[in-house]
Amino acid sequence: MSDRFEARRKKLLRLLRDEGLPAMLVTAEKNVSYLTGFTGDSSYLLLGRDLAVVISDSRYTTQLKEECPTLDAVIRKTDVSLPQAAARVLRKAKLSQLAFEGQNVTFELHQKLADNLAQVELVPLNGRIESDLRAIKDADEINELRLAVQFAARGFEFLKATLTHGMTEREISHDLEHAMRRFGAEGVSFTPIIAVGDRAALPHYHPGDLKVEESPILLTDWGAQTRSGYRSDLTRVLVTGRPTAKLEKVYNVVLEAQQRAIAAIGPGVVCRDVDKAARETIHNAGYGKRFGHGLGHGIGLDIHEQPRLAPVSETILQPGMVVTVEPGIYLPGWGGVRIEDDVLVTRDGHEVLSNSVPNEFEQAFVDLGN
């Protein structure tokens, strides 16, 4: 069980060696969890050659023994702050240099560390665990993401099966979360976007009190989180009333753009070229100005991870990366269509993890009853 965490720590040690740094203080909660398997909070990992210590407090003594038995743990007392405890461990380790996460450590914490560690040169290493390690999923993480997609897929079947006249966006959102939890999910990956009609034109809408029958368009952007914290992210548009020809046209442009982008995904491909495949399709259909966001993003322990599929992204896709592909066309005052799937980069191409969720226009119809 702990092997995968050890493998991740070895990768980080190699990265530190390449940077000429002897050790790193990992402070970001999800990075500590990723590197150790520990699921608590308020704890740091100090990692160096012959050095792997979790600095925590007495709430977590038992949990640390269970979750990371091979790591040393320093349990601070109530009257010693976390930065003070970290400084003590660091002084004992007699390091001359220490890498830290500049994208996570606050100005205040940096000052406290610097005040307590006069002999140590603190070197920022910003976002490297995210870009160099977490962006490429190992076998366990890919299994977790498959599970997160399964929960989401079953949640969407539930939503379609239970959708009726009179339900508000908020009720639909809450029922969806409750159902996915009953299926085994820890919860949602993020507050679902459940948007009726013209609200579907707002890419970051928060579900409100609109009723589902107020428009034939219902956009659902949702995901599930597994107990280990991995997150899926999908979008579908349902047709809940008589559709217009315009809706069918827009839907099919978005679907074609998405399918072209997915087809472009494979190892060695530059991210911006995947974005381009979708963007050109939408541009050629005359909706170029109506797709204002990037094409997609990595998913994992966070809902937005590396790499980004965007017009400026130079990142090269590698096997093990998992990205969303989610083009959209948004027409203010009318509504919007976005279609989103989760795609794994494989050794010889890609695999759509969410391909069990129907995506054709003809499959989008739902009868609301009376």
Q: Smallest gap, in angstroms, from Cβ of residue 116 to its own copies? A: 16
> For residue 309, how many other CB atoms are within 10 A of its CB?
29
In this structure, the chain runs to a length of: 370
Closest Cα to residue 240, out of 357, 335, 329, 326? 335
Q: Closest separation between CB of residue 259 and its own copies, Å?
A: 25
**Helical (H) or strand (E) element with 337:** strand 335-338
DSSP assignment, residue 133? I
Q: How far is CA 24 from CA 45, 66, 270, 362, in A?
A: 8, 24, 30, 53
Contact status, residue 331 vs residue 337, Cβ threshold 8 Å: no
Q: Which residues contact 50 (CB under 8 A, 6 or more apart)?
A: none
In angstroms, give the least distance from the CB of 204 to its own copies. 5
Q: Cβ closer to its own copies: 106 or 370? A: 106
235: number of CA atoms within 13 Å, CB side? Answer: 27
Question: Which is closer to its own copies, CB of 177 or CB of 342?
Answer: 177
Instruction: Report in angstroms how near the CB of residue 363 gets to its own copies at its nearest.
Output: 29
Smallest separation (angstroms) from its own copies to the CB of 106 = 6
| Residue (185 or 239) nearer to its own copies, CB | 185
Name the residues that contact its own copies, by CB under 8 A: 39-40, 58-59, 62, 78-79, 100, 102-108, 110-111, 124, 126, 170, 174, 177-178, 181-182, 202-204, 206, 292, 312
Q: 72-103: string of b/e by CB count within 10 Å (b at 16+)?
A: ebbbbeeeeebbebbbebbeebebeebbbbee
Would you say 241 and 216 are in contact if contact means Cβ atoms under 8 Å apart? yes
The string of DSSP codes covering 74-99 is EEE-TTS-HHHHHHHHHHHHT-SEEE
CA gap 139, 36 in Å, rounded: 16
- Which lies closer to its own copies via its Cβ, residue 111 or residue 244? 111
Cβ atoms within 10 Å of 63's Cβ, excluding its own: 15
Please identify, using beta-carbon distances, which residue of 203 and 358 lies nearer to its own copies: 203
- Smallest distance from the beta carbon of 160 to its own copies, in angstroms? 19
CB of 115 to its own copies, least distance (A): 13
Residue with Cβ nearer its own copies (79 or 362): 79
Which residue's CB is nearer to its own copies, number 209 or number 362?
209
Comparing CB distances to its own copies, the nearer of 157 and 171 is 171
Residue 345 CB, shortest distance to its own copies, in Å, is 25
